[in-house]
Structure 1
């Protein structure tokens, strides 16, 4: 007999809808941010040169104007489309669906086994409907009915030992691996970007002195200043250092949760401890949203 498990593909369709919307919003927002910053650097490069067309027109200056117009258009598009909101709201909704699904499937509070399955299922649907009601009206287009999947039913019908194993391996260990890998990734990116920014600053000092001494006439210091500003803005948007710290904290927290859950043998204790584990996972996501200035949902 195959051991019961629960993957992201076996969660309610609402999870995939929200997850897809969030990932799409993230991709669009990051791409638009890259375009904005690249245009700012391009404007600085064109501003540092002069390409005359006759006695009147400076093509480089026109290129600067075009870069600013393009930047303005991107800014206005971001203001009206707001993909950042889709990113945050979609992620909040997806993670809320995921935690409710795991709570129901393994018998965590408030879906403990003291209640009949039919009542627990009604409560699950009610909790999901509350999430839909509280979500911004235009943030998600929901086309699938709210339902408990067959795999969720199968896992809930399993005995405590099987549910505990599935939860520890497919939920806690999976999240622990994800947080650990993301912590390492963000730590490496933070160090790399710090070194890159320091290199730009050092180069800027040298070229500024060379320009002051008349060795170079091209406004390379201005270009480097724009590049430094763009790099600093990107570093702030990605928040590598803050994310590395948050993910390390979450990984350490979940390693403790994993050890504690292994020894739980009673249903009442399991309902309480597994619910606490879901709270620990939710805390990290709340911190992630707060670090980006997003309102709590």
Structure 2
């Protein structure tokens, strides 16, 4: 099983060669994506049930069935919280993403002949070194190895397309790295920064609207104390959920971090024209990969902080 990066087109040279990662990259990425999805589904269910409980607390009925349903909602909310604490899907998300990124940066170093997979007349030497390197990465992440399906084999060796890219000349590899790695990462970070800025603004507006509504209703309650319906428990639950969701998603923090990383990548990109030898290209690739890894390391640290 292999996983390809997006195939992009260079108008001057035609379509770029498809890039296939080893199967472990897709397995780790799939684990991260499914765990992330499960984590946020549980949080949404928990918040939704708490808001439902706050609505039921307004006492629309005095029947036993109504109160039994209220108890059931609280029980389900507690069950969601306990399952989330027991399952810890966010840890599988972070660890799966870390494994995928470690494999990804190693693959790019191998394909671009960067240290520790520098040029050799015998490709079997760097290929064996790459295989051992990936095995080391996998062993260091053995705590999530049981999450992978045993029916799917994990290929630790370089794929055929990786070897093909590696065997191309310096000019072709420079163009390939520029288009499919540097510019692709720069566009991703810029897109994510824009998305998080918009999300931060949208959730800020929603939160402010709930607070404003609570203030308005409080004023009406003061004026018409006896005859005014006052759903304050619902507004409190809504406001708390909105604040909690915004803190978990870290929209502002991610927008700033992604913008800075995109800017750094832009500065790195301008240096590629200075590369004229295999040695300088190896240094350039390692500098670029360190920048990508640094942002990801900081992201993981923020999640566990």
TM-score where L is the length of structure 2: 0.89
Out of 51, 72, 77, which is 1:66 matched to?
A: 72
Instruction: Give the distance between the partners of 1:147 and 1:112, measured in 2 at CA.
Output: 16
In the other structure, the counterpart of 1:158 is 168
Instruction: Give the distance between the partners of 2:220 and 2:165, measured in 1 at CA.
Output: 70
TM-score where L is the length of structure 1: 0.91
In the other structure, the counterpart of 1:230 is 241
Instruction: Give the distance between the partners of 1:278 and 1:125, measured in 2 at CA.
Output: 19
In the other structure, the counterpart of 2:25 is 15
Q: Are the aligned partners of 1:19 and 1:91 in contact in 2 as well (CA < 8 Å)?
A: yes
Q: Are the aligned partners of 2:29 and 2:100 in contact in 1 as well (CA < 8 Å)?
A: yes
In the other structure, the counterpart of 1:37 is 47
Shift of residue 225, structure 1, vs aligned partner: 0.8
In the other structure, the counterpart of 1:291 is 302
Q: Residues 118, 60 of structure 1: CA spacing in aligned structure 2 closer, same or farther, 3 A cutoff?
A: same
In the other structure, the counterpart of 2:8 is none
Work out the number of aligned pairs and report it: 288
Instruction: Give the distance between the partners of 1:170 and 1:77, measured in 2 at CA.
Output: 40
1:122 matched to 2:156: no
Shift of residue 122, structure 1, vs aligned partner: 1.5
Instruction: Give the distance between the partners of 2:58 and 2:142, measured in 1 at CA.
Output: 46
Mean CA deviation greater in 149-158 or 117-126: 117-126
Q: 5 Å matches for 1:107-186?
A: 107-113=113-119, 116-139=122-145, 140-141=147-148, 143-186=153-196
In the other structure, the counterpart of 1:273 is 284
Q: Are the aligned partners of 1:5 and 1:170 in contact in 2 as well (CA < 8 Å)?
A: no
- Identify the structure with bigger relative contact order (alpha carbons < 8 Å, sequence gap 6+): 1
The runs of at least 4 aligned residues of structure 1 exceeding 4 Å deviation read 1-4
Shift of residue 131, structure 1, vs aligned partner: 1.1
Q: Residues 216, 289 of structure 1: CA spacing in aligned structure 2 closer, same or farther, 3 A cutoff?
A: farther
Q: Are the aligned partners of 1:49 and 1:218 in contact in 2 as well (CA < 8 Å)?
A: no
Provide the aligned C-alpha RMSD in A.
1.8
1:193 matched to 2:203: yes
Q: Residues 96, 76 of structure 1: CA spacing in aligned structure 2 closer, same or farther, 3 A cutoff?
A: same
Q: Are the aligned partners of 2:92 and 2:144 in contact in 1 as well (CA < 8 Å)?
A: no
Matched position secondary structure for 2:304: coil
Instruction: Give the distance between the partners of 1:2 and 1:121, measured in 2 at CA.
Output: 28
Q: Which structure 2 segments of 5+ residues have no match?
A: 1-12
